[in-house]
Amino acid sequence: MKYTAGGILGKLGEALSVEVPLPPGMLALTVKDTNGKAASGISWQLTLPDGTAKTGKTGSEGRISVDGVAAGDCKLVLPDFEGNEAATAATGADASGGDQPQKTDSPPADPPANQTAAQKRQAIIDKAREYKGKIDPRAGPDGKRIGWDLLKDVHDTAYNMDIFQDPGAKENIPKPHGKYVSWCGVFALACAKKAGVVAPEVKWNPGGKITGGLDKIQGQTDKIQPGDIIIMPMNGLYHHCIVTAVEGDKVSTIDGNSFDPMTFQDQSVVEHGDRNHGMISHWYKTVADE
């Protein structure tokens, strides 16, 4: 199904079109400009049939992918563009097409600047949890790594570039069990940026260095809070992960590039509850205290 989202006009007056494939339980959109080129970096707000709101930005291929979508109407808004009318798409195995675009009275979510520190921290955690079960090193039906497009978008976001400009990334990210870089820190930083909490200019650099505004802190682990990024020495490497909870000495995390005991696969997104302060060498404070 393909339709032009009437009323959603680019700042140069160019209409956008959206191609909507409809596999059961998944909504996958490709946003393109009038020249048929993928529209990357476009902010989107999607309201699911159950009223759940999802937000994010299109990747380098103009992709918006959301799993676990029940049959019904989804409302898509592209707030970067004037008009801000909602494109409505039918979802579910029995869906036959989309309705005409219609306005939505649902206000956009508060920008991070209007959120409390606790809300910003929770936004980072919520964003990371969206990836659980969606990135798997095994081959999918198309022969490529399961969730490779999500993994590429995570790299694009963290590095502030189309990572496929590097031939090594282009070869190994889509490859089942392919290894490009250890992407635990890439994932952690990308989630903080995708949540709108960490500034876009902050980026991941080869060798694991974050530049652009986040300071690496040594010690002071008693000040770590949910949403912060911690670093733990492991087997000669430095593993990064997002803190989800702190209870005394116990630290719970969500990790990219981690072993999943449910699937027995590495390079997955997994939650862990067995960390402690003594395991942490350095950390990044993602949200300023109020």
**Residues 268/150, Cβ–Cβ less than 8 Å:** no
Among candidate residues 209, 181, 213, the one with its CA nearest the CA of residue 200: 213
* DSSP 8-state class, residue 250: E
97: pLDDT strictly greater than 80: no
Mean pLDDT of the chain: 81
1: pLDDT strictly greater than 70: no
The DSSP code sequence of 191-229 is: HHHHTT-S-TT-EEETTTEEESSPPEEES-GGG--TT-E
**Residues 251/242, Cβ–Cβ less than 8 Å:** no
* Residue the block writes with tokens 């770590």: 224
Confidence of residue 182 (pLDDT cuts 50, 70, 90): very high
The domain made up of 2-109 is a member of CATH 3.60.70.12: no
Numbered ranges of CATH 2.60.40.10 in the chain:
2-109
16: pLDDT strictly greater than 50: yes
Q: What is the pLDDT of residues 106-159, one digit of tens each?
A: 344 455 668 899 999 999 999 999 999 999 999 999 999 999 999 999 999 999
Q: What is the pLDDT of residues 194-235, one digit of tens each?
A: 999 999 999 999 888 899 988 899 999 999 999 999 999 987
* The amino acid at 273: G
Fold assignment, 114-284: endopeptidase fold (from Nostoc punctiforme) (3.90.1720)
What does the alpha-carbon distance between residue 26 and residue 66 come to, in Å, rounded to a whole number? Answer: 6
22: pLDDT strictly greater than 60: no
Among candidate residues 21, 214, 26, the one with its CA nearest the CA of residue 133: 26
Write the burial class of residue 164 (CB in 10 Å: 0-12 exposed, 13-18 middle, 19+ buried).
middle
Numbered ranges of CATH 3.90.1720 in the chain:
114-284
Confidence of residue 58 (pLDDT cuts 50, 70, 90): confident
Six token digits for residue 79: 């707030």
The answer to whether the predicted template modeling score (pTM) of the entire model surpasses 0.85 is: no
The residue-averaged pLDDT of 154-175 equals 96
Q: How far is CA 278 from CA 138, 153, 185, 221, in A?
A: 34, 33, 19, 9
